[in-house]
Amino acid sequence: MSANDRANFGSKLGVILASAGSAVGLGNIWRFPSELGSNGGAAFLLVYLLCIMFLGLPVMVSEFLIGRRSQANTATAYQKLAPGSKWHYVGLMGVFSAFLILSYYVVVAGWTLEYTVASVTNSFTDGTDYTKFFGDFVSNPWKSSLYVVLFMLLTHVVIVRGVTDGIERFSKVMMPLLLFIICILVICAFSMPGASEGLNFLLKPDFSKVTTKVVLSAMGQAFFSMSLGMGCLCTYASYFGRDTNLLRTAGSVAAIDTMVAVMAGIIIFPAVYSVPGLSVDAGPSLVFVTLPNVFNIAFHNAPVLGYVFSVMFYVLLVLAALTSTISLHEVVTAYISERFKLARKTGAYVVTISCTVLGILCSLSFGVLKGFTLFDMGLFDLFDFVSAKFLMPLSGMLIAIFTGWYLERKIVFDEVTNYGSIRMPLFKLYIFLLKYFAPIAIMSIFINELVK
Binding mask 226-245 for ligand PHE (x = CB under 6 A): -x--x-x-------------
Return the H-helix or E-strand segment holding 23. helix 12-23
Report how far apart the first and last C-alpha atoms of the chain are (Å, whole number): 45
Task: Say if CB 86 and CB 93 are below 8 A apart.
Answer: no
Task: Say if CB 286 and CB 272 are below 8 A apart.
Answer: yes
- DSSP letters along 409-443, please? HHHHHHHHTTTTTS--TTHHHHHHIIIIIHHHHHH
**Residue 343 backbone dihedrals phi, psi, to 5 degrees:** -65, 150
* CB of 101 vs ligand PHE, minimal distance in Å: 6
| C-beta closer to ligand PHE: residue 260 or 278 | 260
Candidate residues 17, 18, 23, 401; the one interacting with ligand PHE per rule CB under 6 A: 23
* CB of 301 vs ligand PHE, minimal distance in Å: 34
Considering only residues 323-382, where is the footprint of ligand PHE by CB under 6 A? 324, 327-328
Candidate residues 22, 119, 235, 363; the one interacting with ligand PHE per rule CB under 6 A: 22
Candidate residues 8, 16, 20, 25; the one interacting with ligand PHE per rule CB under 6 A: 25
Candidate residues 8, 9, 16, 27; the one interacting with ligand PHE per rule CB under 6 A: 27
* CB of 263 vs ligand PHE, minimal distance in Å: 14
Spell out the residues 6+ positions from residue 187 whose beta carbon is closer than 8 angstroms to its own. none
| C-beta closer to ligand PHE: residue 22 or 290 | 22
Q: Is 342 helix (H, G, I), strand (E, B) or coil?
A: coil
| CA-based nearest residue to 218, from 41, 380, 58 | 41
Q: Is 242 exposed, middle or buried (0-12, 13-18, 19+ CB in 10 A)?
A: exposed
| C-beta closer to ligand PHE: residue 179 or 275 | 179
| C-beta closer to ligand PHE: residue 23 or 81 | 23
* Site stretch for ligand PHE (CB under 6 A), options 21-29, 181-189, 201-209, 415-423: 21-29
The answer to the question of residue 189 lying near ligand PHE (CB under 6 A) is no
- Torsion angle defined by CA atoms of residues 20, 25, 28 and 31, in that order, rounded to the nearest 10 degrees: -150
**Residue 376 backbone dihedrals phi, psi, to 5 degrees:** 70, 15
Rounded to whole angstroms, the Cα distance separating 45 from 42 reads: 5
| C-beta closer to ligand PHE: residue 155 or 327 | 327
| CA-based nearest residue to 40, from 270, 299, 231, 215 | 215
* CB of 22 vs ligand PHE, minimal distance in Å: 5
Return the H-helix or E-strand segment holding 170. helix 169-190
Considering only residues 95-154, where is the footprint of ligand PHE by CB under 6 A? 101
- HEC readout, 80-136: HHCCCCCCHHHHHHHHHHHHHHHHHHHHHHHHHHHHHHHHHCCCCCCCCCHHHHHHH
* Site stretch for ligand PHE (CB under 6 A), options 88-96, 124-132, 223-231, 283-291: 223-231
| C-beta closer to ligand PHE: residue 23 or 275 | 23
Candidate residues 44, 87, 104, 224; the one interacting with ligand PHE per rule CB under 6 A: 224
* Site stretch for ligand PHE (CB under 6 A), options 87-95, 222-230, 265-273, 407-415: 222-230
* CB of 167 vs ligand PHE, minimal distance in Å: 13
Rounded to whole angstroms, the Cα distance separating 278 from 269 reads: 10
Considering only residues 422-441, where is the footprint of ligand PHE by CB under 6 A? none
| C-beta closer to ligand PHE: residue 104 or 133 | 104
| C-beta closer to ligand PHE: residue 48 or 133 | 48
Give the residues lining the site for ligand PHE (CB under 6 A).
22-23, 25-28, 101, 224-225, 227, 230, 232, 324, 327-328
